[in-house]
Structure 1
Amino acid sequence: MISRQDLPRRPAAALGDLTALVREFESVGIGPIMLAEVREIAYFLVPRYNASVYSEIGNWRHGFDDLVQDVVTHWLLGDGQARYLVETSKTIKDFRRLLTRQVKRCLARRRTRTVIDNVLDRSRPLLDQPPFARSMRHLQVTYFLDGLPREERAAKFFELRAASIAIRPIPQITTSKRDRAPEVYKKADLVRVLTRIGEALPNAFTIGELDRILRLTLPHLLPGVLDLDNYESEVASDENEQTNNSDRVLAAVGRIREEFNDDLLLVLACKVAGVSDLEVSRHLGVSRRTATNRKRSVISILEKTLGTLTDQERRACLEAMRPELQAALSQT
């Protein structure tokens, strides 16, 4: 359960007038009346959803508006659900029940539970022990090395990247091909990871910022269409699997390199790193809407290229692309 203190200020109450809502929709499409309904329902739903899993930014205070935009753009407009809701609902209660279902669908589609989330879960109790201490920034818990003064501000992107570079030499665990929840780091090495991050950053860091650092460090654990938990492992002999993986992986990587221009590669690298659409738009020098459209293009290409691969093959594809993703980020 996410505390309401992680939310933005409660939105103004929705009008609750179906007649006015229908009149507005027939006149201008989705306007302030329907948008207020979306915001109110989303506000009461998101405390049930872990922001580190369901929000690209890592907290609802800053990620709430992105969710509202997604509901409106992808589901009510893109999927044609706004007209369905208006034409089907007999009462405002009907409308809100159907709209609640759309917001829940949007949240479910956003779920990006990955191996990195497992590392975050293991990190939390370690950060509550020495040598770490806790503080607060805008009602969010932050962490720093006890006795080492740190600023209470958000980390800049280049600072997160520097922290990622600092922890890359720390060894990662070699896991079985069929390990569904690898630890990535032994406990002692995870403590070293957290300590180096505390030393590298000039600010006390949130769990969301830790998540972004890990995504920069471990791009082969890309969420979304590459989420390994969404697929069943295939049964095959090791020898045959290695041969098949090699051919299929090389072909998939070749197609990705062929279809991705520099902008799409940067979008992919940024999304692996947990960068918000707003920040991506700044890196590209385009509008936020354009950045969102390019993200959709990236997802579409990945779904088409990697959709038939096994979980092990997806890992291999990401590992093969890792130098290019890191190079793209280094240019920002």
Structure 2
Amino acid sequence: MSGAGRAPGMTPVGPGSPGKDGRVELAFAPDGAGGTCWTRRRARAPLAMMRPLYVDPAAPGTPVAYLMALGGGLVQGDRTTVEVAVAAGGHAVITTQAATRVHRMDAGHAEAATRLRVGPGAVLEHLADPVLAVPGARLVQGLRAEVAAGGALILVDSLVLTDAGGTRGRAPEPPPARVRARLDVDCAGTPLLRERLRLGGPAGPVGLGEAGAVGGLTCVGDPPAVAAAVAAMRAVAVPGARIGVSALAGGRGAWARVAGVDPARPAEPVGLALRALWAAARPALLGLPAFDLRKR
């Protein structure tokens, strides 16, 4: 899947050459005993997957799979592709082992693409840790989710600008990070959400402004459940974070965006807000409480 596309000013070194070309393909389906198992797993370095854990007390048959990057982060020319599919009636949770760091690049850019497919009556929760972009980083990121009628999706994403160990103010000072990100969500073949984020370079449709971190939670499901999720998410408040929640077309989805407005620590409030939004949306949408993802 090439959801990221090409970003002006981020050439001539193309993604995947000469950098690493990591790939993960995962498929899940009901196991016939009330739970879900994976039916396909392929991974190519530097990406890898742990065997799923069953750590949700309220849904013991739901696998929680952890995506890992076997390296120190993305450098110029790197490309990663993640594809996840959940068949009708299945329920899977995908998360990451830790944040993804994007390093300074002298030429070209890195590319990260994700494609999610949710079958009829299936559930996918994709709960990624933040992308950390240091000064001088160049990243093109694309995420596309396709949800069938009757399916449900909870999707968490976030981006943090970091100083990479205090490089700002030093000579020569690296240029600001440049990130192009797109999020496309379809439900039953109909476009539900189109988001474009551009950071660094010419101003884009959406920018971070003064925020040093931004994140979001997108959910898709039956309209009554989504309406309940919207009401629950609108009640979330976290000091240091600005939160906005909107219902999407036809009441089939909801979209929350979070900005870290505390200049001293923008990332922490965003992380806390995203956790609180998930804890609010999950019971409304799925009838299940949030649980410990066991990363500590």
TM-score normalized with structure 1 length = 0.25
Larger Rg: 1
**Structure showing the higher strand proportion among its residues:** 2
TM-score normalized with structure 2 length = 0.27
**Structure showing the higher helix proportion among its residues:** 1
